[in-house]
Amino acid sequence: MDFSTLCVHGNDCKYDNTGSVSVPIFQSATFSHPGVGLSTGYDYSRLQNPTREHLEKTLAKLENGTDAMAFSSGMAAIAAVMELFRPDSHIIASDDLYGGSIRLFRNISEKNGISFSLVNTTDIAKLESHIRPETKALFIETPTNPMMHVTDIAESARLAKSHDLLLIVDNTFLTPYYQKPLDLGADIVVHSGTKYLGGHNDTLAGFVVVKESELSEKLRFIYKTIGACLSPFDSWLIIRGLKTLAVRMDRQQESAMKISRWLMSHEKVKAVHYVGLPSHPDYEISRKQTTGFGSMISFETDSEETAKQVLSKVSIIQYAESLGGTESLITYPMLQTHADVPREEREAKGINERLLRLSVGLEHPDDLILDLSRAFEEE
Ligand SMILES: *Cc1c(COP(=O)(O)O)cnc(C)c1O
């Protein structure tokens, strides 16, 4: 079955006999037992809920996994994965991760005795030198946020396997429509479902997807114990969002290509980071491991003044955090997603006062270009 059909009909299981085309929202905290020692398969919604299960089964299929767990946010999903590791474990992670993941690692996971090496994971040859006897996992995000660096997933998986490490991939930016990390050898995929999967900037969600049953069992135990599960209504919103995932992403990518070309030609733009541009240093790896480039662009303006002016003058594009939704959003990574990252570290990565990040939505690209063009103009 094609991916776009799976998005609509991913889980064809019926939960009632009314013929309802839309999955019902089972707004129930608990489920009554048909008899002593018997269960309908549903006991309590922290463990399992039919609406959420429908979503989880759909996402597991989309990622070619066997189990998916739906969390109340992307951070809840990543925090749950960190519970797999005992104190004294060491994890190697990309140094250009989502700011919230770095905050989690530094302030929560480290307190629990897990140590991290944040390194440039795009350099596979060097990556091996960071592996220690206590290293348990490799955590990558590709492309990264906001600099759009790409890590070779298959090569990372090979390295991880040879050292008995778990490979964890944050697949938020491309989604399984464009990139399937489990097929490339990853053990765990995490998502902020708040972004493209939900796609409408209206709800938070997170996912963990795995292939192996042993990992699934461990994570299901953590899931029911911690309780950061997605509510039935929010599950339904993500089910609805997923139905249009493929069409949304194709259209957003097409617009992103057009906008990044326009930005490249603008005199006040010094650099454009979009993996779909053949001039992007990681264009070839992207073509090898993905079926699309997504619609996240970051670009460097000529000055701090220009960057701030664009943020204050855009009107269709909204100055807001988050990404992947129907509405185009622009952010100032330095002050928003990466506010907690020390200045020197941030600037060394290119996240300076001139850098803006744009999430291209579903508005007509010509309107977005006109909006940006006006925002660049001086009064
Ligand atoms: C937003 C985001 C997260 C965190 O997800 P929330 O749903 O906001 O908790 C994690 N990783 C990436 C790449 C993100 O963009």
**What does the pLDDT look like over 73-129, one tens digit per residue?**
999 999 999 999 999 999 999 988 898 999 999 999 999 999 999 999 999 989 999
* DSSP letter for each residue of 72-88: SSHHHHHHHHHTTSPTT
| Shortest-distance Cα residue to atom 6 of ligand 1 | 74
- For residues 340 and 295, the answer to whether their CB atoms sit within 8 Å is no
Q: For residue 38, report the phi and psi dihedrals to the nearest 5 degrees.
A: -110, 155
- Check residue 343 and give its pLDDT: 87
Summarised one tens digit per residue, pLDDT across range 156-206 is 999 999 999 999 999 999 999 999 999 999 999 999 999 999 999 999 999
d(CA 70, CA 98): 19
> What does 143-185 look like in DSSP terms, one character per residue?
S-TTT-----HHHHHHHHHHTT-EEEEE-TTTHHHH--TTTTT
Q: Which residues contact 61 (CB under 8 A, 6 or more apart)?
A: 6, 10, 11
Neighbouring C-alpha atoms within 13 Å toward the C-beta of 149: 18
Comma-separated ranges of CATH 3.40.640.10 domains in the chain: 3-242
Ligand 1 contact, 145 CB (< 6 A):
yes
**Pocket lining: 309 vs ligand 1, CB cutoff 6 Å:** no
In the reported structure, the alpha carbon of residue 40 is separated from the centroid of ligand 1 by a whole-number distance in angstroms of: 34
Q: What is the mean pLDDT of the segment spanning 210-234?
A: 98
- 235-245 per-position pLDDT tens digit: 999 999 999 99
Which of the four CATH numbers 3.90.1150.10, 3.60.15.10, 3.90.79.10, 2.60.34.10 does domain 246-376 have? 3.90.1150.10
Q: Name the residue with tokens 């097929």.
A: 183
Whether 72 lines ligand 1, by a CB cut-off of 6 Å, is no
Q: Is the CB of 206 under 6 A from ligand 1?
A: yes
DSSP of 292-303: ---SEEEEEESS
Give, using CA atoms, the residue closest to atom 7 of ligand 1.
74
> Residue 301 corresponds to which tokens in the numbers above?
């303006």
> 3-242 adopts what CATH topology?
Aspartate Aminotransferase; domain 2 (3.40.640)
pLDDT tens-digit readout, 359-372 = 999 999 999 999 99
Interatomic CA distance for residues 131 and 128, integer angstroms: 5
pLDDT computed for residue 267 by the predictor: 97
Residue 139 alpha carbon to ligand 1 centre in Å = 14
Verify whether ligand 1 is closer than 6 Å to residue 142 (CB atom): no
Q: Give me the pLDDT at residue 346, please.
A: 85
At residue 145, the pLDDT reads 84
Of 182, 86, 92, 85, nearest to 140 by C-alpha is 92
Asked if residues 313 and 349 have their Cβ atoms less than 8 Å apart, the reply is no
Pocket mutation for ligand 1, best pick of 75, 94, 331 (most atoms within 8 Å of C-beta): 75
Closest CA to 219 of 76, 339, 105: 76
Which residues belong to CATH 3.90.1150.10 in the chain?
Answer: 246-376
Per residue in 307-348, pLDDT (tens digit) is: 999 999 999 999 999 999 999 999 999 888 778 778 888 888
Counting every residue written for the chain, the total comes to 379
CA atoms in the 13 A half-sphere facing the CB of 229 = 27
> In testing the pocket of ligand 1, which one of 102, 195, 296, 322 has its CB within 8 Å of the most ligand atoms?
195
Count CB-CB contacts under 10 A for residue 125.
8
198 lines ligand 1 (CB under 6 A): no
